[in-house]
Amino acid sequence: MRQSQLFSKTRKDVSAEEQANNARLLLRAGFVDRTMAGVYTILPLGLRVRNKLEAVIREEMASIEAEELEMPALTPKHVWETTGRWEEMDDLYRFTSFYTQMELALGPTHEEIITPLAKQYITSYRDLPRYVYQIQDKYRDEKRAKSGLLRGREFSMKDLYSFHTSEEDLDRYYERVKEAYYRVYKRLNLESVTYLTYAPGGTFSKFSHEFQIINEVGEDTIYTCPHHQVAINAEIIDIQPSCPQCGETNLTEQNAIEVGNIFKLKTKFSKDFNLTFTDENGNTNPVMMGCFGIGVTRLLAAIVETFSDGEDSMYWPQEIAPFHVHLLHLSNDESSQEQAESVYSQLQNHGIEILFDNRKESPGKKFTDADLLGIPNRLIISPKSLENGGFELNGEIHTDINEIVTTLTKPVVSSSF
Amino acid sequence: MRQSQLFSKTRKDVSAEEQANNARLLLRAGFVDRTMAGVYTILPLGLRVRNKLEAVIREEMASIEAEELEMPALTPKHVWETTGRWEEMDDLYRFTSFYTQMELALGPTHEEIITPLAKQYITSYRDLPRYVYQIQDKYRDEKRAKSGLLRGREFSMKDLYSFHTSEEDLDRYYERVKEAYYRVYKRLNLESVTYLTYAPGGTFSKFSHEFQIINEVGEDTIYTCPHHQVAINAEIIDIQPSCPQCGETNLTEQNAIEVGNIFKLKTKFSKDFNLTFTDENGNTNPVMMGCFGIGVTRLLAAIVETFSDGEDSMYWPQEIAPFHVHLLHLSNDESSQEQAESVYSQLQNHGIEILFDNRKESPGKKFTDADLLGIPNRLIISPKSLENGGFELNGEIHTDINEIVTTLTKPVVSSSF
Over the stretch A267-283, which tens digit does the pLDDT of each residue have? 999 999 999 999 999 99
The helix/strand/coil state of A333 is coil
Within 13 Å, how many C-alpha atoms sit on residue B407's CB side? 18
CA distance linking residue A56 with residue B7, whole number of Å: 22
Which residue, B225, B221, B242, is CA-closest to B233?
B221
Q: Was domain B3-307 assigned CATH 3.30.930.10?
A: yes
Question: What does DSSP assign to residue B203?
Answer: T
Return the CATH superfamily for domain B323-409: Anticodon-binding domain (3.40.50.800)
Contact A36 B76 (CB under 8 A): yes
Within 13 Å, how many C-alpha atoms sit on residue B229's CB side? 12
* H or E segment to which residue A114 belongs: helix A111-118
For A128-183, the pLDDT digits (tens) are 999 999 999 999 999 998 899 999 999 999 999 999 999 999 999 999 999 999 99
For A201-324, list the strands marked E by DSSP.
207-214, 220-224, 230-233, 252-266, 276-278, 284-286, 288-295
Q: How many CB atoms lie within 10 A of CB A349?
A: 9
Which residue, A299, A275, A297, is CA-closest to A287?
A275
DSSP calls for B209-252? EEEEEE-TT-SEEEEE-SSSSEEEETT--SS----TTT-----E
> Does the CB of A139 have a partner CB in chain B at under 8 Å?
yes
Residue range(s) occupied by CATH 3.30.930.10 in chain A: 3-307
Q: What is the pTM of this model?
A: 0.97
Strands A220-224 and B288-295: unpaired
Q: What is the pLDDT of residue A16?
A: 85
Contacts of A67 (CB under 8 A, 6+ apart): A130, A131, A132, A133, B6, B7, B44
CA distance linking residue B195 with residue B189, whole number of Å: 13
B101 vs A contacts (CB less than 8 Å) = none
Contact B72 A154 (CB under 8 A): yes
Q: How many CB atoms lie within 10 A of CB B13?
A: 9
pLDDT in tens, chain B (417 residues): 999 999 999 998 888 889 999 999 999 999 999 999 999 999 999 999 999 999 999 999 999 999 999 999 999 999 999 999 999 999 999 999 999 999 999 999 999 999 999 999 999 999 999 999 999 999 999 999 889 999 999 999 999 999 999 999 999 999 999 999 999 999 999 999 999 999 998 777 788 999 999 999 999 999 999 999 999 999 988 767 899 999 999 999 999 999 999 999 999 999 999 999 999 999 999 999 999 999 999 999 999 999 998 889 999 999 999 999 999 999 888 888 999 999 999 999 999 999 999 999 999 999 999 999 999 999 999 988 999 889 999 999 999 999 999 999 886 554 443
- Inter-CA distances, A215 with A15, A319, B71, B112, B151, Å: 21, 21, 29, 37, 46
A98 vs B contacts (CB less than 8 Å) = 90, 94, 141
Pick from B30, B68, B143: CB nearest A47: B68
Residue type, B148: G
Using CB atoms within 10 Å of the CB of residue B179, give its burial: 0 to 12 exposed, 13 to 18 middle, 19+ buried.
exposed
Residue range(s) occupied by CATH 3.40.50.800 in chain B: 323-409
Which backbone phi and psi does B347 adopt, to 5 degrees? -65, -40
Per-residue confidence at A14, pLDDT binned at 50, 70, 90?
A: confident
Mutate to test the interface with B, among A1, A3, A5, A7 (most CBs of B within 10 A): A7
- Inter-CA distances, A38 with A74, A298, A412, B85, B110, Å: 19, 12, 35, 23, 18
C-alpha angle B157-B159-B163 in degrees, rounded to nearest 5: 175
Contact B44 A7 (CB under 8 A): no
DSSP calls for A227-239? SSSEEEETT--SS
